[in-house]
Structure 1
Amino acid sequence: MYAKILVLFGLALLPQLEALGTFDPNVICGLVVNGTKMNDPRACNAWVQCIDGEPVSGTCGSGLFYDRESEECLASDKVKCVSSDPCAALANGFTADPYSCNGYYYCQNGKGTHGACSPGMNYSPGTEDCIRNFPCAAKMDPDSICNILPDGVFIKDATNCNGYQMCWNTQVLNGTCPGTFYFSASAAECVYPKDEVCAFTPAPVIAAEGVCPQAGVFVSDNSTCNGYYYCRELADGEISLEHGVCSEERFFVATDGGACVPRSKVKCDYDRCVGLGNSTIQLANESNDGCRGYSLCQDGSVIGQGTCPQDEYFDEVSQRCTTQVISYPACQLSSDTTVAPEAEPTV
């Protein structure tokens, strides 16, 4: 087989390469709750458990692979191993490159030498050949959290203070904490910003004079209807701005230190389609038109406008024109941002 690939397809095997994975247990243990046990994608028989934020490694016995769902060591033929080390599950022979469709490895005593099929050809694991136009099935990335963590385990989004992720049935699900809450890795839940340090902002954005009336409050980002900044006091006395967005169907108002309230109760002169139309076209009230017109929204942006028939009003909540008088603050004829009197700021 080794000679056949070389002769028929003119492939060149390259010098031995190290595993291409980017798995870093030190980073992941800072993003999950204490005690979390995970698969180590660099090997089939290895696991890592996070104890007080530090990774503790372990390996299964001979002939056993680690199973991330049961968190146990099982017979190797009972576990599908997706490893960044292509030779982890096959000590000798040909195996597919876990990161590409046309690549493969030749393993000898657990050490791999990389090769690649000619342009237009992909490697077929079943026949161990390079085949023209061979379909490339979607592959599980060895470094995906869905190959590392058990289903249902929350992991903090390292790029978003109020974001988190979870794997379910091989799919990565993204979530955002409601209102102005931050996601806490140690508690695996959403908490008040004062109780969680968001350590993933590359460098603090220092608030210009007058932007933050004081530390510990929220202010508008002055560019979107649902965006805001949390004013955090730094050790040197400076105030940094940490950006966040309100949850779905809510806009930000700066009243009483800042809050996220139902969007129909907020007049905003920015694009009111933000957060709407992600799966289907939706409609939004327009500002300063007496609640007569509406915007067509797709993927969070305006794609058109419309006006209800005479003597009818547009109701953003029910998504239709109605003869009932609509007087949401969102569309009242006013130039000031308004919150309905009955609305109490909530986060």
Structure 2
Amino acid sequence: MGGTLALETDIPLAFNARICVLAACLLMASQASGYTMEQMCAQWSGEGYVGNPSNCRAWGYCRAQQLVSWNTCDDDLIFNPQTGKCSDPSTTICTTSANRTCTAAASPMYVADPLNCTQYCYCDGKGGLSYGNCGKGGVYQASTKSCVWGPACPQDTICRFMLSNIFVGDPENCGSYYNCVNGYGTSAKCADGLYYNVVNGLCQSTNPCTSSDNTNGNTGQFTVGYKNADICNITNFEDAEDVFLGNNTTAETYKYVSDFTTCYGFYFCSAENATGVWNQCPTGTQFNPKAAKCVSPASYACPYNRCGNVESTFMAALNTTCQSYTICSSGLTGTCPTTSRYYDEVNNICTTTKPDYTICGST
């Protein structure tokens, strides 16, 4: 079947249905994307509406890479991010809650489960909701209404809450971009030697992503080059570790300060009370403020979202001594079997012996 797991057409027999219980529905309704409206605006050179990842009735408006206004739709309408319009909830998918969609759906339909990409939901057109599972290694692809082989979640891109037929910067890979079509993003890169500039939406020969080039115009928080006038205050600067280059025993005059939000971001502080410039670690690494450098995630127990900036399906959960792991596509927590209770995130296996990683010693 070419790597695609087709859904059954006989709906009652397609899966072991379980009706959504109240607790699960409430949890799904509270589920939000990993991006804020400010971050989405920062990656878009155009002007227009974006959806609010925490409320499918709400919207924001972007101009010059800034979120300039926000509001909610009238009369309990649903905001459709791909058209930029408020629409009838009976025909519009709520991007933050499958339960809300199924409650209002006027006809049967399949929708993605915002909480768990390995599942899909079936709305019976009468207000009912039931679930199907794509099985081991499968994820649901809403654009084709079918299960496909993972591990990436097809719906989990910045395009989910943005207009259709636009280009936006890839928040995880500066210099690359997404082609957004109907809520789904196709990752792309410029030709060899060229870099995507989120300010003008064009490919250019100069790299706008280097920490030394702070004139690229990126203004969104957690975009390389973003400036923060307060982050390098006396307390943060003094608490930050000294930076030593090579074999030098004399510390540099500058320091790196955590952004206190992501596991991979930090600010370059040229001096105490200077304006901090945000930068990020290379993909696959995270910033360890105690070492003032980017390191393997396993060697530092980061207190924030450990799935950020890594290309991993699972990451060891903080404060569980590696006896639990986070499913990065959904944020849910999983455990290894009792016969091999420890999760080794470096080798992506469950093992009988607790790995000797810093993350596994955190409590």
TM-score, length basis structure 1: 0.41
- Larger C-alpha radius of gyration, 1 or 2? 1
TM-score, length basis structure 2: 0.39
